[in-house]
Amino acid sequence: MVIGFIGLGNMAKAIIGGILKKEIVGAEDIIGSAATKETRERVAGAFGIGVRDSNRKVAQEADVIVLAVKPQYFKQVIAEIMDDVDDSKLIISIAAGKTIKWIENAFEKKIRLIRAMPNTPALVGEGCTAVCRNELISDQDLSFVMSIFESIGKASVVNENLMDVVVGVSGSSPAYAFMFIEAMADAAVEGGMSRQQAYQFAAQSLLGSAKMVLETGKHPGELKDMVCSPGGTTIAAVHTLEEKAFRGTVMDAIKACIDKSRQL
């Protein structure tokens, strides 16, 4: 089985790295194309994969085609490869805002299509990917695609009508987490800690907290209560966050993100 990537940007590289690490296929069974020769040569050198100088060549040779270009280039790329795609090929889209129906219409035919929404922590093997499929995708197809995205973190099947919600809670949320880490570090710097050490403490604390939620199975509120001693420092901080509408502000931000995604 040959997996072809149209587009060799950061997310494509993260997925390729995961595939190779988990030995889903070997480097000899991965090919890719990119707009510039420099990008093709750099990725080929980093992973040992084959590269092609046109999207059509990737579409012709690959059994699985990952559309890893920016959404604004989808129409152009699909027009290039549509004559080389039939129901023998499995198509995976990782573009935000491009629905299954939109992609099928662009191909002007029924295709075996999976729509996926990974997020940037995939770059360090800790991604979260939502996956949905059209009616031509078999359970075997889905299982194979899930193995690809599980190679770069966690993956879950969702109904397509939840994809905009996924954007808010997962796709865009690393930005909120980075802002939270930066704010915590700023406060630590104000308290006298070095910038580098402050980032380390804030980031590791967030990482560990997230891991506790995932691995203990306990409600986040219960875990919060475990840290809040009566009359202690933590409950004083929580009081301030509640007073400043911390949770309501986060909910409003994610709602704005979901609403924007629905408008795309």
Amino acid at 129: T
**Boundary residue ending a domain (163, 192, 226):** 163
Strand partners, 66: 5, 92
Please check whether residues 245 and 186 belong to one and the same domain.
yes
pLDDT over 90 (residue 205): yes
pLDDT at res. 263: 86
Q: Do the Cβ atoms of 113 and 136 come closer than 8 Å?
A: yes
Q: Assess whether pLDDT exceeds 90 at residue 62.
A: yes
Residue whose C-alpha is closest to residue 52's, from 93, 18, 84, 17: 84
> CATH number for the domain including 241?
1.10.3730.10
Checking if the pLDDT of 97 tops 90, the result is no
Alpha-carbon distance of 17 to 243, in angstroms, equals 44
Which run of H or E residues covers position 199?
A: helix 195-216
Is residue 47 scored above 80 in pLDDT?
yes
Confidence at 113, pLDDT banded by 50, 70, 90:
very high
Q: How far apart are CA 76 and CA 72, in angstroms?
A: 8
Same domain, 15 and 132: yes
106 shares its domain with 216: no
Domain CATH number, residue 69: 3.40.50.720
Beta carbons of 90 and 65 less than 8 angstroms apart: yes
Kindly report, residue by residue over 190-201, the tens digit of the pLDDT: 999 999 999 999
Mean of all residue pLDDT scores within the chain:
97
The reported pTM is 0.92
Is 32 found in the same domain as 98? Answer: yes
Looking at 138, 163, 188, the residue that finishes a domain is 163
Residue 166 has pLDDT above 80, yes or no: yes
Q: What is the domain count for the chain?
A: 2
Q: Of 106, 129, 163, which residue is a domain's last?
A: 163
Residues 138 and 66 in one domain: yes
Full residue range of the structural domain in which residue 110 is found: 3-163
Rounded distance between C-alpha atoms, residue 32 and residue 237, angstroms: 50
Same domain, 154 and 184: no
Instruction: Please name which of 176, 106, 118, 110 lies closest in space to residue 145, comparing C-alpha atoms.
Output: 118
Residues 207-228 have a mean pLDDT of 97
pLDDT in tens, 2-24: 999 999 999 999 999 999 999 99
Supply the pLDDT for residue 179: 98
Please tell me whether residues 19 and 140 are part of one structural domain: yes
Whether 156 and 215 share a structural domain: no
Quote the pLDDT of residue 167. 95
**112 close to 135: Cβ distance less than 8 angstroms:** no
Contact yes or no for 49/30 (Cβ under 8 A): yes
Separation CA 29–CA 246 (nearest Å)? 48
User: Do 119 and 174 contact (CB within 8 A), yes or no?
Assistant: yes
Closest CA to 107 of 140, 139, 136: 136
CA distance 213 to 208: 9
Question: Do 155 and 73 share a domain, yes or no?
Answer: yes
145: left (phi over 0), alpha (psi -120 to 50) or beta: alpha
* 176 in the same domain as 78: no
Instruction: Count CB neighbours of 20 within 10 A.
Output: 17
Phi, psi of 139 (to 5 degrees): -60, -35
Question: Do 129 and 232 reside in the same domain of the chain?
Answer: no
Tell whether the model's pLDDT for residue 78 goes beyond 90. yes
Q: What is the pLDDT of residue 138?
A: 97
Beta pairing class for 3-6 and 64-67: parallel
- Average the pLDDT over 129-141 and give the result: 97
